[in-house]
Structures are given as structure tokens and as C-alpha cells.
Structure 1
């Protein structure tokens, strides 16, 4: 990669960080300015220099979605997901060996652990509880998908996406007793293996602490992003401990 392309990627990463900061703080004016800059940065030359086509397409679609939301005066909750997806994708381009998306492996495995516990409940509503728990896993996969596509192509995470969809269908069918428990058990196991496979194929080294490689050009953006990330981990840990393991413990209202 040329020095010029490298500088452009660094700038793209800075803009993506500022865009996420604007979404997190519901600063619509700053968000509109940043998304316009982002769109101008995603030139044909830059896309040819780094990343896979599918990832760039996803980033462009997310940028257009943010622009529409801002034009229609929608709240940041309507475009925060897209801003996070762009942030993760840009970060992955600049620091692929230590990309923040790699930290999501443990979160997604934790999501699936909660699905398994919900499915094994002896209260007669295991399928309903497990299907509800699948929403978190599905949301996290959607969040990292553009970054995965950008680094490795669209086929890299396709198995995880398909297995999430298949497991959801089995759980929904189980409500009307049109599937059997063994099929769901096998599907959950296969889904777990596909997540491991997706991250193993990334060829990463051990992930270093994110703060060690964070860009210093926009520290507030990184603080907000990592704060949300850490908050998510703590929330899932608490939920796993108190909500989805209710044996002998009264569930919280």
C-alpha cells in the first residue's frame, strides 16, 4: 500500500471515529458533516488499495442510511448501529491484527452461552427464551459483518449468518412442536463451531489491549466506543448470572 493510501485510511478512521462520537452524543449537525466527509473519502482508488469490495459496499450503504436518517431528523438511536458498523470497519482496515471486532468473539460466545442456558430451562418456555436470547447474537453479528467483509470477503462470515437464521427457525418451530430437541441441540453446537471458525480463519495473533493501539487523534471517540463496549460486557455478565439462570432465584421484573 502506498504512503498516500495509508494516510487516507488513517483519515478515514478518524472520520469514522468522529461519526460514531456524533451518533453516541446525538450531535446531528456534526454527524451530517462527518458522514459527508466519509462519503468523499471512500474513493475508487482507496477501495482498490485496501479491503474487499463487499465491505466497502456495506460501508457505503450504512453511510447513505445515516445521511437519510439525519435528513429526516431522526434521533441517534436510528443511526447509531450504522455508525458503529462503520467505526469497526474503518478500525479493522487501519489495524487488522488488533481490530476491535476481534474482541467480539468472546461476546458472541457469551451470547450463545446464554442461548444454551435459556434453551435448557425446565420451565416449559425454553424455546421462547432461547429465541429471545438469539437477538443479541444476531445484533452483534450484524455489527461486525461489514468489518469482516472488508477484511476477508463476504463468504467469511456467511456460515455464521446462515446458522443464526437456521437456529432461529428451529426455535420458532419448536413453539408449535414441529421440530425436535436434538435438531436444536445440534444447530446450537454447529453455530458455536462456526463462530470459532470465523475468528480462527482471521489468522490473528493474540489480541492486544485495545487502548495500546487506539488512535490518539480522537481520544474522546475511543473513550465513548470502548465505554459502550465494556458496558455491554458487564451487562451480559450480569444478565447471565441473574436473569437467565433463575433456578431457585426469582427473576427480576
Structure 2
């Protein structure tokens, strides 16, 4: 019985080690992402980004400027604390915030700095989702059907095949460029820099082809291939997005619950050890065969385990 109790304790200990190892393996490897997700400064960054976006949709210049100043200060604090290099994604958000503030200071229309507010919102959301291991819930992913619709409209315009076909497609291309620019920083934060650059380059290439079509210097066979690079780059950028079960606007959760895993594993180990000990204390006897007891009576004899 004592051996079985020791085996149960060993199994409990092994279970704890395995669960803790699984939690550690599932933890985000990005040091900066892990640190910013738990800092109060990063939480303020997220609130400031929300305030900027709300102010931009309402056209409230004063509120947007105040929230932009707060965001710049908070990002600067994070950058100094983390000692990040100039190529970090937080630097990209910081530069975008500074550019938005400059446009507001110049009293430009909200139409001109609203896209910057949107880029900031999407980028901060992507960083938060990435840091807690829920990159598939980032809001920038909702641009997949929007970009696909832009591409479909451009194709429809090209297929008209009249004098205004390429001019109409070029006008619709401007909307596609706006949408791709808005998600550029967020996609880079989600480790999609290569795919995002490919999409931006393909959009630029398509713009040149459409300009050539307007001038009548593009072959009809080539005009049917204008959208192929953009479609391929879009598919690569949003690969795996179709398998998401939750909407991209769902609130960011707690990611992989590492502390919960550790706590539950410890609880299970403790319960198994306690149950084994209680069983040993309440049943400290074993049934022996009479031949083992060295006596003819009774048929079975109980002896206390030492």
C-alpha cells in the first residue's frame, strides 16, 4: 500500500511538470509583446488609440489632438523602457501618431487625418492581440472581404472594355490603395511583413498597368492579368483567416491561461496525493492468505502494514 501511495505521488508530480512545460511552450516567445501586454502603460496606449479613433469618426479635432498627445507620450515611454530599435513596430505607430498630430496642428480636415487614426487603432489592436496569443482575432483581418470586393469592382470595370474602362478601374484602385495602406502596420505587427509588402507592390504594379491601359499601350491579353498578382498577394496575406471561428471584433481575451494551467495542475496533484494518503490512513490493513500468516485459522488474516 505504501508503494502505491508513493507511485501516486510520483504520478502527480510528473503531471504537474508536464502541464507546466506545456504552458511554457505555449507562451508567446516575443519578449516585447509579453511585457507590453501586462504593463499599465500599454493599457493606457490602448485606451488612447480607442479615443483617437472615436474622435476621428466624430470629427472632434480637439479630442483627437489630446488623445494623440497622450498616445505619443505613452509610446515614447514604452520605447525608452524596452530600448527598441528604429525598425520596431511601436516606432511605426509612434511616427503615425506624430504625423496625425502635425495634420491636426495644420488644421487639416478630419478626412485627411482620419485614415491615420484608423491605422493607429488597427496597429495597436494587432499588437495587443499578438501579445496575448490571439493574433487571429485582430481587427485588421476584417479587411479581407473589403479588399476582395475592391478587386471584384476593378475586374468588373476592366471587363467593360470601353474607352472609360481603365479610367474607372484606376478610380476604384484608389480605394484599394487606401484599404491596403490602413492595414500595413497592423499586418507587419502580425508577422506578415513579407506578404504585406508583396500586396503593396502588386497594387503599385497594377496601377502602372492601368495607366498604360488608359494610354492605349497595353495589350488586351495583358489586361486580363492585371489583377492576378494582387489576388495572389491577398490570398497569401489572409491565409488561414477563413478558419477563424470568432469574429475579428471580439474583445481580446487573456490568451493562453498559463497561470491557470499551473494552478489547476498543482490542484490536481495535491488532490491525488491527498486522496492516496486518506486511503492509506483509513485502510491500513492488507488481506493475507492463511499460508502466509503461518496459522490454520482463520482462513484469512489481517495484518497491519508497517
TM-score, length of structure 2 as denominator length: 0.63
Contact 2:92–2:185 (Cα < 8 Å) also in 1: yes
CA distance in 2, matches of 1:158, 1:186: 20
Show structure 1 runs of 5+ residues with no match.
216-253
Distance in 1 between residues matched to 2:109 and 2:162, nearest whole Å? 39
Q: Any conservation in 2 of the 1:5–1:46 contact (CA below 8 Å)? A: no
For the 8 Å contact 1:112–1:137, the answer to whether it is kept is: yes
- Matching residue of 1:44: 79
Distance 1:62 1:168 in 2: 25
Cα deviation for residue 205 of structure 1 reads: 4.8
Structure 2: state its 5+ residue gaps. Answer: 1-33, 130-134, 254-306
Q: Tell me what 1:68 maps to.
A: 102
Pick from 23, 41, 58: which aligns with 1:8? 41
> Which has the higher mean CA deviation after the structures are superposed, 162-171 or 57-66?
57-66
Residue aligning to 1:135 = 174
Q: Confirm whether residue 104 of structure 1 aligns to residue 143 of structure 2.
A: yes
CA deviation string 1:194-231 (max 9, x = no partner): 1010111x77851522453269xxxxxxxxxxxxxxxx
1:55–1:154: 8 Å Cα contact kept in structure 2? Answer: no
Deviation per CA, 1:104-137: give whole Å up to 9, x if none: 0111011000000100004332111111111111
Aligned to 1:165: 204
The CA distance in 2 between the partners of 1:187 and 1:116, in whole Å, is 9
Task: Please say if residues 36 and 42 of structure 2, whose CA atoms lie closer than 8 Å, have aligned partners that are also in contact.
Answer: no
**Counterparts of 1:204 and 1:14 in 2: how far apart (Å)?**
29
Structure 1: distance between partners of 2:242 and 2:89: 19
Q: What is the count of residue pairs matched by the alignment?
A: 213
Larger Rg: 2
1:87 to 100, 107, 121: 121
Match of 1:198?
A: 237
State the distance in 2 between where 1:191 and 1:204 align.
18
Cα separation, 1, equivalents of 2:227 and 2:211: 14
- Partner SS, residue 212 of structure 1: coil
Counterpart-to-counterpart distance in 1, 2:162 and 2:223: 17
TM-score by length of 1: 0.75
Q: Deviations over 1:18-70 (max 9, x none)?
A: 01111221222221211111111112256668xx9353233122111111122
**Stretch of structure 1 that moved more, 158-167 or 55-64:** 55-64
In the alignment, what sits opposite 1:233? none
